[in-house]
Amino acid sequence: MNRIKSLFLLQRPSIISTYTSIIKAIKAHSGEWESPDFLQLLWDQGSVQEITDTYNRDTASYHAMGIRPTPLLEFESKSNYYDIVFVQMPYLWMSGQDFDFPRLKDFGKLIVFIPYYLTDPTNALIQDPLVKVRLRSFDYIFCQSEYTRAHFMAEDPALRPESLVAIGSPKLDEVDCYSKAQLQESILYKKINNRKTFMWAPHWIATFEMSKAHSSFLFLFAKIFGFFEERKDLFLIFRPHPLLFRQILDWKLMTEDHVALLPRLLAASGNAFFDDNPDGRFSFGLTDALLTDCSSGLMMDFLPTLKPISVFLLPENEYNYENLIFNAADDSADDITIIKYLYYSKTVEGLFAFIDQVTSGHDPKLPDRQKALKEYFLNVGTAGQEIVRFLTDKLRAPRTPIDDREAIIQ
């Protein structure tokens, strides 16, 4: 019996964690699966030079992770055919100039979709006609929970029920992948020096117009950095969304010199660190609490640590999140639903009060987070294994007359 061949489509190194536990599970089943192949796609945003620079930077990041993706042009010159092609979320929005979406079926028997945004599905995503068509074409869409599966079905009844599989999120499997010993050997651990540590992770959509912003960066950065400058008994890990400063520069909200200065200023403070590592799990292990924005999927990534999370609700934001939190009829996305299990604030003073609360060891919402983790996520820690087991069974199952008839019709 031939071993199963798989292909992973890569969009950005920062979201490779969506695939990591699946890749490990495949390698653990080497008797049934071949080592996977990887295809690195181009982003068609920016000038030719910007696209080239991004591609080369991403390639270097993949190599550092031990992944050797095949360039698109080399891949298309081969006659590869795979049993399974794994696709991530950003692919749904790509214009197709570099890789035509319908051609996925030319490269694989089963095309499966692994959402990396744990706040899916949102109305904005499902309402996009192009995205709807693409979602319907997948053989399987792996959902993090029955809750998420029900959302997909409610938003687009044209999706085939059998294509939606509630199995868990592989992205969460390795949130706590680093041992205590590994963490304590790090330079960052020594810098923290037993101080209470907070990760601030603002979203990328930054603007001075609060009604249009998703990111708290421009609203809070001077206040937060100033607070930690005064509190040398605490430590700050600043982990912005990978796209934040690209947008800030594109919109000329800051200069390149100012952006380049930030990591140096934080390092010089003695109690702050600029974390731009594509893999955020190391910082997760060293952090005592997370500060983030309402629309940031990072709150979902961080939830399995069960550490405190505070969500900052931007004032005058058009989404009026505070009403959504307590109005079940308006629960349009997982991130809105889950905030009621977390701490949240609409003022800087409230955010600083949360920091003081964590510092004192007071955490009354721990039982709420435990409930949320159980309610909204399946197979935490083993989702990748479950996906590989599911696909192995599907590919090894005997074909039926119905299967053969459908193959002939197609």
- How far, in Å, are 218, 239, 243, 322, 331 from residue 215 at the CA level? 7, 13, 11, 16, 21
Mapping DSSP to helix (H, G, I), strand (E, B) and coil, where does residue 51 land?
A: helix
Residue 291 has pLDDT above 70, yes or no: yes
Are 387 and 379 in contact by the 8 Å Cβ rule? The answer is no
Average pLDDT over residues 269-295: 89
Q: Residue 397: CB partners within 8 Å, gap ≥ 6?
A: none
* Domain ranges, ordered by start, for the chain: 6-173+381-409, 180-376
Domains 6-173+381-409 and 180-376 share a fold: yes
State the Cα–Cα distance between residues 176 and 136, nearest whole angstrom: 34
> Looking at this protein, which amino acid is placed at residue 150?
A
State the Cα–Cα distance between residues 378 and 341, nearest whole angstrom: 18
pLDDT tens for each residue of 348-405: 999 999 999 999 999 999 999 999 888 888 999 999 999 999 999 999 887 554 454 3
Mapping DSSP to helix (H, G, I), strand (E, B) and coil, where does residue 139 land?
A: coil
Q: What are phi and psi of 340, to 5 degrees?
A: -65, -15
Closest CA to 219 of 288, 105, 317: 317
State the Cα–Cα distance between residues 195 and 191, nearest whole angstrom: 9
Cis amide bond preceding 121, omega within 30: yes
Question: If you classify domain 6-173+381-409 with CATH, what class do you get?
Answer: alpha beta
pLDDT tens for each residue of 106-157: 778 898 988 765 444 444 555 667 777 778 888 999 988 888 888 788 878 8
Place of tokens 């607070």: 227
State the Cα–Cα distance between residues 121 and 131, nearest whole angstrom: 11
Residue 102: what pLDDT? 55
Are 11 and 43 in contact by the 8 Å Cβ rule? The answer is yes
- How far, in Å, are 25, 195, 226 from residue 233 at the CA level? 42, 6, 14
Residue 388: what pLDDT? 97
Residue 97: what pLDDT? 44
State the Cα–Cα distance between residues 408 and 410, nearest whole angstrom: 5
pLDDT tens for each residue of 22-39: 999 999 999 999 999 998
Residue 270 has pLDDT above 70, yes or no: yes
Q: Is 325 left (phi over 0), alpha (psi -120 to 50) or beta?
A: alpha
Residue 41 has pLDDT above 70, yes or no: yes
Q: What are phi and psi of 2, to 5 degrees?
A: -65, 145
Residue 352: what pLDDT? 97
State the Cα–Cα distance between residues 45 and 320, nearest whole angstrom: 31
- Fold annotation for 180-376: Rossmann fold (3.40.50)
State the Cα–Cα distance between residues 120 and 295, nearest whole angstrom: 11
